[in-house]
Amino acid sequence: MMRVLIATVLLTLGFAVPAQAQAGCTVYNGACLEKHSNKAWLVYNGAVSYGPVTASHGKPGYETPVGTFSVLRKVKNEWSVPYNGPMPNAVYFTTTGIAFHQGDTNVQSHGCVRLPADASLVFFDNLAIGEKVQVLP
């Protein structure tokens, strides 16, 4: 519902889907992260519906894995026990605890994908359990 509204507003305002945002992303409904550009976006019905937005990912030794995953669970006000820190708007997509969540995009993480506050809320509200997340190199 929100995705349709976002896509409609973007089309109405004349925004084109950035060509680089679709390069290599094969998700039909879900999200993509392009690690080399530090960009993430949402996809709805095969088209970019939100973003790309600035993101950060895992630092050396804690790399965010490349591949295609499924959204496993969502936790609005999560707390990372191993790293003793908040993870607002967490959307988990690996069984090893990697998620999109709100955080400082100027700092690399222990594997999670950090997003600005507004973007993390849009990802949380629009990604559904079972939808695909593709992490590109």
pLDDT, one tens digit per residue, over 60-103 is 999 999 999 999 999 999 999 999 999 999 999 999 999 999 99
Segment 1-8 shows an average pLDDT of 51
* Confidence check: pLDDT of 19 > 50: no
Whole-prediction pTM: 0.85
Residues 6+ apart with CB under 8 A from 105: 38, 54, 55, 56, 114, 115, 116
* Confidence check: pLDDT of 4 > 50: no
What is the C-alpha separation between 106 and 81, in angstroms, rounded? 22
Instruction: Give the model's pLDDT for residue 2.
Output: 54
Segment 102-125 shows an average pLDDT of 97
